[in-house]
């Protein structure tokens, strides 16, 4: 942040407030002031001032002795989703694909070194889900959705992600940078990504690129048990559904 702090167009206090909100990403419960201080690196007085301001503006609310995100944050996400016409046009396509596969299907894009779900659908008769929802984020290097996004985002983006370090999530996680470059290049050439057991033991993912949708790269992905996607014929059947859905979304975006 050092270079930006010297830029007169950069509002440092606003950035700190956004950092506090960002600390709640992927958190199911609230956070107290010491936890927020540890997550943001700000001193207690700064965190307290920022939190009280965000509470007064309706973005945070008290949760016992701590704080949690308030419903107002959804209005920001709602504006983004309306821009993509998610509810009226994309969601029906995802629901149809999810019902056809009997699996969850998600639309994702790249956000600050992570893959973030912007929409998802589960089959109507789903009894067990993977626990992901709109706003869930996944690592780029060890998931199918992440590798597909990297394959569409250019070499400079990939190198920046690799430079940030490769986390090992399971024994199967690929951590060698050269091998990852080759895997991601293959995803781009094949226009699909398959990753098995590298992020969560026993889980595998498939992802395909989506056509034009605004000015950002999007991918369509699903996650299932390794056994469900073990056979090439099973993967091909899933890919057929995902590709058809991706083409439909691409036509909508165009």
State the Cα–Cα distance between residues 114 and 96, nearest whole angstrom.
26
| Average pLDDT taken over every residue of the chain | 87
pLDDT of residue 217: 83
Give residue-wise pLDDT tens across range 18-38: 888 888 876 667 899 999 999
Indicate the domain borders of the chain: 2-71, 79-253
pLDDT at 88 over 90: no
The H or E element containing residue 222 is strand 218-225
Give residue-wise pLDDT tens across range 115-170: 989 899 988 776 545 667 778 889 999 999 999 999 998 899 999 999 999 999 99
pLDDT of residue 251: 67
Going from the C-alpha of 80 to that of each of 20, 87, 110, 144, 145, the distances in angstroms are: 21, 11, 14, 24, 20
pLDDT of residue 24: 84
Looking at the chain, the whole-number percentage of residues with pLDDT higher than 70 is: 87
The architecture CATH gives domain 79-253: 2-Layer Sandwich (3.30)
As a CATH number, domain 2-71 is 1.10.10.10
User: Does 79-253 match 2-71 at the fold level?
Assistant: no
Using alpha carbons, select from 62, 37, 39, 65 the residue that is nearest to residue 52.
Answer: 62
Going from the C-alpha of 48 to that of each of 24, 101, 113, 210, the distances in angstroms are: 15, 48, 28, 43
pLDDT of residue 124: 76
Calculate helix-pair angle for 155-163, 144-151, nearest 10 degrees. 130
For the entire predicted model, the pTM comes to 0.78
pLDDT of residue 142: 96
| Least confident span in 93-102, 108-117, 194-203 | 108-117
């Amino acid at each position: 942040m050092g270079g930006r702090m010297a830029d007169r167009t950069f509002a440092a206090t606003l950035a700190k407030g956004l950092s506090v909100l960002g600390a709640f990403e992927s958190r199911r419960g609230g956070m107290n002031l010491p936890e927020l201080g540890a997550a943001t690196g700000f001193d207690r007085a700064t965190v307290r001032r920022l939190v009280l301001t965000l509470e007064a503006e309706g973005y945070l609310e008290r949760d016992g002795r701590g704080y949690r995100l308030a419903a107002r944050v959804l209005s920001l996400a709602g504006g983004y989703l309306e821009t993509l016409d998610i509810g009226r046009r994309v969601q029906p396509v995802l629901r149809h694909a999810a019902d056809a596969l009997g699996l969850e299907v998600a639309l994702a894009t790249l956000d600050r070194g992570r893959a973030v779900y912007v929409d998802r659908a589960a089959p109507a008769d789903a009894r067990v889900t993977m626990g992901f929802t709109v706003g869930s984020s996944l690592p780029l290097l060890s998931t199918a959705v992440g590798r597909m996004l990297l394959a569409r985002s250019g070499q400079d983006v990939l190198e920046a992600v690799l430079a940030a370090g490769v986390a090992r999530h399971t024994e199967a996680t690929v951590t060698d940078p050269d091998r990852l470059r080759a895997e991601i290049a293959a995803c781009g050439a094949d226009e699909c990504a398959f990753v098995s057991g590298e992020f969560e033991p026993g889980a595998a993912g498939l992802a395909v690129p989506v056509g034009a949708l605004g000015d950002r790269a999007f991918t369509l992905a699903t996650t299932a048990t390794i056994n469900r996607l073990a056979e090439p014929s099973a993967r091909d059947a899933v890919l057929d559904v995902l590709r058809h859905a991706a083409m439909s979304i691409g036509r909508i975006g165009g």
